[in-house]
Amino acid sequence: MSIIHSDILILGSGIAGLSTAIKLAKAFPDKKIRVVTKDRKEESNTKYAQGGIAVVWDKLDSFESHIADTLRAGDYESNEAVVRMVVEEAPDRLKELIAWGAKFDLTSENTYDLGKEGGHSANRILHHKDITGYEIQITLLKQADLHNIELLTHHFAIDLITDHQVISKVKTYGEKNLHCYGAYVMNEKNEGIDTYTAPITLLATGGAGQVYASTTNPVIATGDGVAMAYRAKAKVYDMQYIQFHPTALYEPGKSPAFLISEAVRGFGAYLRNAKGERFMLAIDERAELASRDIVSRAIDTELNTSGAECVFLDCSHLDQKAFLNHFPNIIEKCQSIGIDVSKDLIPVVPAMHYLCGGVNVNTNGETSIKGLYANGETACTGLHGANRLASNSLLEALVFGHHISEHIIENKQIFEANFPNIPEWNAEGTTVPKELILISHNRKSVQYIMSDLVAIVRSDERLERALDHLNYLYRDTERLYKKVTLSPQIVELRNLNACAYLIVKQSMQMKENKGAFFSIEF
């Protein structure tokens, strides 16, 4: 197939990839920038973000307060210097986003309507009704159209091109001299695999929610960037910190689960158990506005103790007109399944929501492999620590996208890097799979193993059993991978296997409960 050269290759079309691409396109109008996405250009984790962006905007708020809230939510495992950097740069990044065309809700006084979410001690969430992510996604796509950015839809990155393909032997895991030269990318329309070379490659492929059976993440969130980086021997940290969102709409068998935004509790909704009791009052002084790890564990305990299948959000006491104005999408969804939020309780359960760990990067977004950057949920920046504070993720992508672009602008010599002879993709499998059920079965098996054994509460025995099951699925998947012709389905399964393995192995290395990680052993 073809060898296609770019100056900058970006894998992923969400806020992490597009915000970086736009800044680089403005700085380098003569450079070839390609953004590769495996689905439609508007389909990304960003699109499904309901809540908003956390920014110190009100004079009554302060950077120190936002920093303190972030550190507390992350159970003091965050890198404080990174937290300070992100929080203090937030207003400038938001102004930039507004200048690009993003619109946020206003009050009757024509000031920004600042919401409040769990873990925040002040109203600092800028939002666009309950579809903030979608508003941002569309804004960025419009900006991308104005610049020299080629957006390739239905193109699936298979693996990174590193020294593993160029030389026969690599000495050690995470070797400092490793380079990235681009990626092998499948054109899903003709199933051909092209060699996309670039001196700069950015991983911005989103999270790994599909590792679990119940998740708020879209079906494309299969941990592709983390898995590719891991196979390339990049450093991957903190995969044990899986954030479960406390309030996904309870609809058995539905995946992805519909998210009932944390902003609903910030607006004043109560959590009630099957007896109608507000159980969070006895758990944390912040009640429903405690951080997500605390609320999720409380719900998990409530369900295990009572045997109930869900708990409930009570919005009946709220100003219904204001509630409708703020959460029209959520209300419409509830109405579609026969729930009138003005008088009916909304059934909710926790669901896998966010990967706090990922590919380790510095403040310039650089990974341990030269020429390879990472941003967004794919990256482990040090901001979230053991648990992400609500509405910090979109902000993180904007700030790190800025730092990545600034670092590349300051180091223009990277474009002049000498390239070795890059081999074309060497396909192993040649057999067309007779039964795709073998691949879908293994995918479901990974998801149920993780949901049953590696969820909100873990134990040594559960983790060991999960690892045994995953090792079998890994061997079976690798056998299939080498045998059959390549397809997005088999590659996604391989990526899910890698992420599940990392979550389990890094969970087994934990010696204390921190943030989103909780084991009955400690």
Per-residue pLDDT of 250-293, as tens digits, reads: 998 888 899 998 889 989 999 999 999 999 999 999 999 998 88
175 pLDDT more than 60: no
SS3 at position 373: strand
User: Are residues 220 and 258 both part of a single domain?
Assistant: no
Q: What is the pLDDT of residue 429?
A: 61
Task: To the nearest 10°, report the CA torsion of 224, 227, 232, 233.
Answer: 150
User: Which of 353, 375, 393 is a domain's end point?
Assistant: 353
Query: Does residue 429 lie within any of the structural domains?
Result: no
Q: What is the pLDDT of residue 169?
A: 42
Phi (first) and psi of residue 350, to 5 degrees: -70, 150
CA distance linking residue 212 with residue 448, whole number of Å: 7
Q: What is the pLDDT of residue 434?
A: 62
Active-site residue (options: 292, 297, 388, 462): 292
**Looking at residue 279, which CATH number applies to its domain?**
3.90.700.10
User: Are residues 174 and 207 both part of a single domain?
Assistant: yes
User: Are residues 279 and 232 both part of a single domain?
Assistant: no
Name the pTM for this structure: 0.91
Question: In this structure, is the dihedral angle defined by the CA atoms of residues 140, 325, 292 and 498, taken in order, positive or negative?
Answer: negative
Domain span at 302: 246-353
User: Are residues 369 and 504 both part of a single domain?
Assistant: no
Query: Does residue 513 lie within any of the structural domains?
Result: no
**Cα–Cα distances in angstroms (integers) from residue 322 to residues 114, 316, 327, 342, in the given order:** 14, 12, 9, 12
Query: Does residue 312 lie within any of the structural domains?
Result: yes
SS3 at position 124: coil
User: Are residues 199 and 260 both part of a single domain?
Assistant: no
CA distance linking residue 512 with residue 516, whole number of Å: 11
- Asked if 278 is an active-site residue, the reply is no
Strands (E), 25-154: 33-36, 53-54, 125-126, 149-152
Query: Does residue 423 lie within any of the structural domains?
Result: no
Least confident of 53-62, 78-87, 132-141, 165-174: 165-174
Phi (first) and psi of residue 417, to 5 degrees: -60, 140
User: Are residues 83 and 9 both part of a single domain?
Assistant: yes
Name the percent of the chain lying above pLDDT 90: 78
User: Are residues 53 and 179 both part of a single domain?
Assistant: yes
Query: Does residue 85 lie within any of the structural domains?
Result: yes
User: Is 71 in contact with 385 (CB distance < 8 Å)?
Assistant: yes
Burial readout 67-78 (b: 16 or more C-beta within 10 A, e: otherwise): bebbbbbbbebb
Mean confidence (pLDDT) of the chain: 92
Number of domains in the chain: 3
Query: Does residue 427 lie within any of the structural domains?
Result: no
User: Is 210 in contact with 496 (CB distance < 8 Å)?
Assistant: yes
Confidence of residue 432 (pLDDT cuts 50, 70, 90): low
CA 477 to the chain's CA centroid:
24
User: Is 122 in contact with 116 (CB distance < 8 Å)?
Assistant: yes
User: Are residues 265 and 187 both part of a single domain?
Assistant: no
Q: What is the pLDDT of residue 466?
A: 97
User: Is 340 in contact with 221 (CB distance < 8 Å)?
Assistant: no
Q: Degrees (nearest 5) of the Cα angle 430, 224, 202?
A: 115
452-511 tens-digit pLDDT: 999 999 999 999 999 999 999 999 999 888 888 888 999 999 999 999 999 999 999 999
User: Are residues 52 and 134 both part of a single domain?
Assistant: yes
User: Are residues 308 and 347 both part of a single domain?
Assistant: yes
Query: Does residue 426 lie within any of the structural domains?
Result: no
Q: What is the pLDDT of residue 428?
A: 65
43 pLDDT more than 70: no
SS3 at position 265: helix
- Contacting residues for 365 by C-beta, under 8 A, at least 6 apart: 202, 373, 374, 375, 379, 381, 400, 401, 403, 404, 407
CA distance linking residue 128 with residue 414, whole number of Å: 38
Query: Does residue 330 lie within any of the structural domains?
Result: yes
Q: Which two tokens stand for residue 179?
A: 């380079």
Least confident of 132-141, 163-172, 417-426, 497-506: 163-172
User: Are residues 318 and 377 both part of a single domain?
Assistant: no
**Cα–Cα distances in angstroms (integers) from residue 433 to residues 14, 438, 439, 504, in the given order:** 32, 9, 9, 30
User: Are residues 126 and 215 both part of a single domain?
Assistant: yes
Question: In this structure, is the dihedral angle defined by the CA atoms of residues 427, 428, 432 and 433, taken in order, positive or negative?
Answer: negative
User: Is 150 in contact with 32 (CB distance < 8 Å)?
Assistant: yes
171 pLDDT more than 50: no
> Cβ of 99: how many Cβ atoms within 10 Å?
9
Confidence of residue 144 (pLDDT cuts 50, 70, 90): very high
CA distance linking residue 22 with residue 281, whole number of Å: 46
User: Which of 318, 353, 388 is a domain's end point?
Assistant: 353
**Looking at residue 473, which CATH number applies to its domain?**
1.20.58.100
**Looking at residue 104, which CATH number applies to its domain?**
3.50.50.60
CA distance linking residue 102 with residue 94, whole number of Å: 9
